[in-house]
Each structure stands twice: as structure tokens, then as C-alpha cells.
Amino acid sequence: MRHFDLVIIGTGSGNSILDERFDDWNVAIVEKGVFGGTCLNVGCIPTKMFVHTANVASTPAAGTKLGVDSELHGVRWPEIRDRVFGRIDPIAAGGKRYRVEDCPNVTVFTGEAKFVGPKQLDTGTGEVITADRFVLAAGSRPVVPEIPGIVETGFHTNDTVMRLDELPRRMIVLGSGFVATEFAHVFSSFGVDVTLIARSGAVLRAEDEEVSARFTELAAQRWDLRLNRETVRAERVDGVVRLHLNGPNGAEVVEAEELLVAVGRTPNSDTLDVAATGVATHLDGRVVVDEFQRTGVDGIWALGDISSPFQLKHVANHESRVVQHNLLQPEKLLASDHRFVPHAVFSSPTIAAVGLTEQEARASGVNYVTAVQEYAGIAYGWAMEDTTGFCKLIADPETGRLLGAHIIGPEAGTLIQPLIQAMHFGQTARTIATGQYWIHPTMPELVENALLKLPVKH
């Protein structure tokens, strides 16, 4: 059995661990798919390239209220798709070529890895290897709900939907989280009739309650939104997908040419069989790690979607840097910082958030105050004629420290950054609002005014 100093399973954030400091380590990388993982190939990067294009396609419609009449003549889907993947696919291929051809200390196994014993890994290539250290960076995969007929019906996930041969006339999107709302925005902007099915009474219901309520209201104006629906059965009749639903109005059927399933992601700890090497998992399948990204087995580390409650690329990257440090300096372990993990949803409108939602603040019993500033109340909001966006802040009235920040509206993901910074560096609401200039008239004045409205002492 070949033995290595280090084996990394998964080439998403796991691939960025290796740099010149590992040149004298004998390393193996095992990857079952293409190099670069979810974010590069089927996640963040291609979706945002499609989202940007969708935003451009939506511009003519947005101009009407400003007195600008223009028309969308159509979108050239094959060209858009090939432009996106024409950029991405060579990066994935180049990443693999670099490791195989230019890294003499690295052996790449192209196969689906599975532990077969303590620190013994079947690489899926016919070879079992052992190592002193392992990094579990095998990510997560889309959940397929147990709906009778769904497999026979055929469906897309984020793995396949961005490579469609042609745009369908109609699409059913099952789910109401990040993936569902981002793709609903993309495909509806490209002219596809979208039906979005949510189990509960709100879309993006993990967001702050006011943000989720506003998004749900806007989603209902844009898509055929079916709330409080249970999906009972799926079938395909004459090429058309039919989903049988149960909801407030009783039984109903929705139809479309394509079905996109977006009901969450599950960690790949089961397919990797981490139990065979003694690594424990939570009930939801996440590998158990401590603050240093150590599993319970000496020398086995985990990072990213396989172990994190935050299935986000910036978190996977952060944890990968922590694991990198801890592999190199085990005597000076670094802990991951998960105190203020922000996220953005790149739908329309965009949403960004960090810290507590109001429902979480209420449930936790902390003393808090809130302030809301609408885009409609700032000069740049007048310019955009925005009537639906807002920034909501939650703060400790005694210390002036922010507990949570939520923005729904244009450029939310960009606007929230000073608030993330303030939370990390312990700045008070008054300090951030009044201790610096805010350029007038810009969108960040939304944040400035929300901060000024907070009834806090500092």
C-alpha cells in the first residue's frame, strides 16, 4: 500500500491548501469529478455569471418606470451558456493539469474515494492508500426529495441545469432557498415561465422575517408562486413534467417542460464512508470538527460543506486557510472564526445579511433595538425609483454594537460590507455612522441612515 504524508479528498477549497511550503511533502489528491469543486464548476461562479446576464436582460423592463422605453429582443441562450463554460471549463482542466504535470510531489487519483479502514482510503482507481494526515474536503451534493415518480420523471439540479441545450418554455422550481430563487431569477429574466413551489408560507424563510416577507411579496408578482404546498407525486406525460401538489386549495397539478430540484444539499460524508476511519458525524451528516477543524481522529481534518453548518464558499476558503496553517504549524493551532458569517442571495432583489435575524434575537432573549431605512428615503434610491428595498439593523441599545444587519435591494451584497467589518472589529453604530464621511449621494447612505436611526447609546 502506498503511504503519503497527506491525502486531500476533494479539489474545491481543499485544492488551495497546497503551496510551496508543502513541496517536500508526499501528497495525494483524490477527486471524483472535475477540478475546482462546486463553486467553480456548478455553483457560485457560473450562477453569478448567469445572474449578471439576467440582470442585463431585465434592464429594459426596469427602465419603464424611469421613462425609458426599450425592449428585450431575446437572449441567445447557447451563446450565453457557452460563454460561461468557455471560461470555466478551461480553468478546471488547467487546475488538474497543473497538479498532474507541474507538482512532482503530488499524485492525483481520479476516482471516488471511500474509507475502508482506519486511515485507509480506497481511491476508486483500484488502489488503496494510507497516510499520516487526511483532509476531508469532499463537499456536499443536492438533496433529492423522496417524491414518488421523481426519478422516472427526470429532473435537473444545479449540476445540470446551466448546461441545458435550449431554454424551456416553462420551468418548475421545487424549493424556495438560495438555489431556487437565484435560478428562478435567471430563467424568468431569460423569458422562461417559472412556477416556484415552497413547502412553507414564505420564500427564503431563513432570512430575517421582514426580509423574507418582502421577498415573498415580490416573488409572487414575478413568478407563479405556490406557497404551503406538499409535492405528492411527479410524472412526465408527452414530454411534460407534471407535479401533483396538495395545498390550501386542495389538490392541483403544475406542468412544465423542465423541473429544477433545489431543496438543499447534504454532506458527502456518507459516500466517503468516514465512519470506516472512525470519524463521527452529526445527525445531518456533517463531519464533527472542533474549532481547529480537527475531527476526532488524530491527523484527520475536515473543511467546507462536508463539515460546516455554513455551506458557503467564503467559509470553505477560510477553513481551508485554517487547515493549511494547522497542518504546517500543529504546535500553534489556529481556530476558525465563525462569529459573523455573512451571506448574499443573488436573486432579484438581492439580499445580504450578517448576524442575528430579528426572530433569532427575539428567541435568544437578548436586549435589542432595530432600525429600518428604506432605499426610497435616500437620494440614490430616488434616482432608482426603488420602492421596495430596505436596510434593517439590529443592535444592542447599551453598547451600540450591531447584532445583525439585513439588506434587501440593489447591490445588497456590496452595501453590507462596512457592517460586517464593524461587527468583526467591534465598532459601535455611532462610531461607524458619524466617525467617517459617507459619499453623497450614493447607495451606502442607506447604511449610514439606518445606523443613525438606531436608538443606541454609543
Ligand X SMILES: Cc1cc2nc3c(=O)[nH]c(=O)nc-3n(C[C@H](O)[C@H](O)[C@H](O)COP(=O)(O)OP(=O)(O)OC[C@H]3O[C@@H](n4cnc5c(N)ncnc54)[C@H](O)[C@@H]3O)c2cc1C
Ligand Y SMILES: NC(=O)c1ccc[n+]([C@@H]2O[C@H](COP(=O)([O-])OP(=O)(O)OC[C@H]3O[C@@H](n4cnc5c(N)ncnc54)[C@H](O)[C@@H]3O)[C@@H](O)[C@H]2O)c1
Interface size with ligand X, residues (CB under 6 A): 35
Cα 55 from Cα 62, distance rounded (Å): 10
Instruction: List binders of ligand X among 75-134 (CB under 6 A).
Output: 112-113
Quote the least distance from Cβ 412 to ligand Y, whole Å: 11
Annotated catalytic, 458? Answer: no
Per CB under 6 A, 377 contacts ligand Y: no
Closest CA to 31 of 10, 15, 51, 13: 10
Per CB under 6 A, 180 contacts ligand Y: yes
Per CB under 6 A, 175 contacts ligand X: no
Per-position x/- string for 276-315, each x denoting binding to ligand X as judged by CB under 6 A, each - no binding:
----------------------------xxx----xxxx-
Quote the least distance from Cβ 442 to ligand X, whole Å: 24
Per CB under 6 A, 268 contacts ligand X: yes
Interface size with ligand Y, residues (CB under 6 A): 21
Which of ligand Y, ligand X, none lies near 409, with the C-beta cut-off 5 to 8 A by kind?
none
Closest CA to 372 of 346, 406, 348, 324: 406
Per CB under 6 A, 50 contacts ligand Y: no
Instruction: List binders of ligand X among 367-426 (CB under 6 A).
Output: none
Closest CA to 342 of 399, 293, 415: 415
CA distances from 362 to 206, 245, 324, 358 (A): 14, 34, 38, 6
Closest CA to 200 of 266, 265, 247: 247
Instruction: Find the binder of ligand Y among 177, 304, 355, 410 (CB under 6 A).
Output: 177
Per CB under 6 A, 271 contacts ligand X: yes
387 φ, ψ (degrees, to nearest 5)? -120, 5
Stretch that binds ligand Y, among 99-107, 169-177, 247-255, 354-362 (CB under 6 A): 169-177
CA distances from 311 to 41, 60, 285, 399 (A): 16, 34, 13, 31
Which of ligand X, ligand Y, none lies near 295, with the C-beta cut-off 5 to 8 A by kind?
none
Residues in the chain: 458
Phi and psi based region of residue 377 (left: phi greater than 0; alpha: psi -120 to 50; beta: remaining): alpha
Q: How many CA atoms, within 13 angstroms, populate the side-chain half-sphere of residue 123?
A: 22
Quote the least distance from Cβ 320 to ligand X, whole Å: 7
DSSP 8-state assignment for residue 243 = E
Cα 47 from Cα 262, distance rounded (Å): 14
Cα 30 from Cα 8, distance rounded (Å): 6
Which of ligand Y, ligand X, none lies near 404, with the C-beta cut-off 5 to 8 A by kind?
none
Per CB under 6 A, 262 contacts ligand Y: yes
Which of ligand Y, ligand X, none lies near 180, with the C-beta cut-off 5 to 8 A by kind?
ligand Y
Residue carrying the nine cell digits 431554454:
167
Question: Looking at the DSSP assignment, which residues form a beta bridge with residue 405?
Answer: 354, 393
73: which residues sit within 8 A by CB, 6+ positions away?
A: none
Cα 237 from Cα 187, distance rounded (Å): 23
Closest CA to 162 of 53, 263, 35, 47: 47
Which of ligand X, ligand Y, none lies near 139, with the C-beta cut-off 5 to 8 A by kind?
ligand X
DSSP 8-state assignment for residue 104 = T
Active-site residue, from 3, 52, 424, 440: 440
Question: What 3-state DSSP class applies to 131?
Answer: strand
Per CB under 6 A, 177 contacts ligand X: no
Quote the least distance from Cβ 336 to ligand X, whole Å: 13
Question: Is the CB of residue 271 less than 8 Å from the CB of residue 291?
Answer: no
Quote the least distance from Cβ 409 to ligand Y, whole Å: 16
Per-position x/- string for 135-164, each x denoting binding to ligand Y as judged by CB under 6 A, each - no binding:
----------x-------------------
Per-position x/- string for 327-346, each x denoting binding to ligand Y as judged by CB under 6 A, each - no binding:
----------------xxxx
Question: Is the CB of residue 395 less than 8 Å from the CB of residue 424?
Answer: no
Instruction: Find the binder of ligand Y among 231, 281, 373, 449 (CB under 6 A).
Output: 231
Per CB under 6 A, 11 contacts ligand X: yes
Query: Among all residues, which ones are annotated catalytic?
Result: 440
Q: Which residues bind ligand X (CB under 6 A)?
A: 9-14, 30-33, 37-39, 43-44, 47-48, 112-113, 137-139, 158, 179, 268, 271-272, 304-306, 311-314, 316
Q: Which residues bind ligand Y (CB under 6 A)?
A: 145, 174-180, 182, 199, 231, 262-265, 311-312, 343-346
